Amino acid sequence: MLYIVISYLWASILLYLLLGGADFGAGILELFTSDKHRSNTRKTMYKAIGPIWEANHMWLIIAIVILFVGFPAIYTTASVYLHIPLVIMLMGIIARGTAFSFRNYDAVVDEMQLIYSRIFVYASVITPLFLGIIAGSTVAGRIDPAAHDFVSAYVFSWLHWFSVAVGLFTVSICGFLAAVYLIGEADNETDRRRFITKTKTTNIAAFACGALVFIAAKYEKIPLAEWIFGNAVGILAISAASVSLILFWWLLVRKKTQVLRVLAAFQVTMILIAITYRHYPNIILQKSAPPLSLMNAANDKTIAALGWALLIGSIFILPALFYLIYSFDRRNRKLAGTGHT
């Protein structure tokens, strides 16, 4: 049952990156869109993220609950030593969602719409930035339970070049995913070409930020290259991602966009596998203490109850989620057929 719980944890993190990441990326793209095209970008964005807007943070909640119930030592360590970036990320999620709702459903349209829009786009950058910083901090080996001062314990645990580089990489990945998803939702050829251009730009930015992560890892003496290229699984995952990237660009240049979403999701999945496989089951690498492992879970009865709860919950949640996506897609097709937006 432990491996079922771990599988759900990994899957929830992946789905949050793919779906929630695309959600954040929509705001990132809006930030870098000119005033002339911003209105069309927003309309396309609403259509694209509508099916996942109501449910994307579910995956984050599932991951947090799994850690809280099944792996209390990991949960406690992360929430204590990384509480500053965690609070900033959660504030970003709240501010972004609130601004999005008020911007679209406020009964009064006035200058506050501009403020809502600014909060939305800036929070769309800040949230994945600190999500990446948290992820980078867990494996950087800078969390120090033996630290005797506030700065060493609660600031330098996450504020270093490697975690910031991972944060920037996460932002670029989110922008890339959003640009890919928006291509298929464009209503006209002009917007479609514009989103194709943004896909190329964000993909190049993701590649550059990925290189920055390796440079920062080298500077911080973090064996990232060994983690990825020091085992067959990592090499296979990166090779698969590279081949799919070549195919992705070949299809993108020829404007054959039908399977681009699948390829983009596949690339992100392969990258996550390559990064996490080498130090599995260790999920937090510490400076002055042994790593925290997923094998050091709660007692067997707790893990069994958690595993059954996840399995039974999936029976109810997943069909409802698929129906939500189907309903939004059917509604969009119906509106498109009648000429409404």
Q: What own/partner pairs with CB < 8 Å and gap ≥ 24 does 72-78 have? A: 72/298, 73/292, 73/296, 74/283, 74/284, 74/292, 74/294, 77/143, 77/145, 77/284, 77/286, 77/292, 78/134, 78/138, 78/284
Domain assignment present for 335: no
Residue 17 lies in a domain: yes
**Rg of the chain (C-alpha set):** 21
The whole domain housing 21 covers 2-280+289-330
Is 276 part of a structural domain of the chain?
A: yes
Number of domains the chain contains: 1
SS3 4: helix
Model-level pTM? 0.90
Strand partners, 143: 286
pLDDT at 341: 47
24 part of a folded domain: yes
Rounded to 10°, the helix 189-219/161-183 angle is: 160
Residue 125 has pLDDT above 90, yes or no: yes
- Where are the extended beta strands (E) located within 221-302? 282-284, 292-293
Residue 114: how many other CB atoms lie within 10 Å: 10
Strand, helix or coil for residue 216: helix
pLDDT exceeds cutoff 50 at 93: yes
Whether the per-residue pLDDT at 340 is higher than 60: the answer is: no
pLDDT band at 67 (very low <50, low <70, confident <90, very high): very high
Is 337 a member of any domain?
no
Q: Give residue-wise pLDDT tens across range 213-229.
A: 999 999 999 999 998 99
Which residues are CB-neighbours of 330 under 8 A, at least 6 positions away? none
Closest by CA to 202, choosing from 267, 158, 119, 259, is: 267
Element (H, E) at 224: helix 224-229
The total of other beta-carbon atoms located within 10 Å of residue 191's CB is: 18
58, pLDDT greater than 70: yes
What SS3 state is found at 222?
Answer: coil
pLDDT digits (tens, 9 = 90+) for 24-38: 888 888 888 777 777
Residue 250 lies in a domain: yes
**By three-state DSSP, how is residue 32 classified?**
coil
Does residue 26 sit within a domain? Answer: yes
* Higher-confidence position of 336 and 33: 33
Q: Looking at residue 31, what is its pLDDT? A: 84
- Over residues 266-283, the mean pLDDT reads 89
User: Is residue 177 classed as helix, strand or coil in its secondary structure?
Assistant: helix
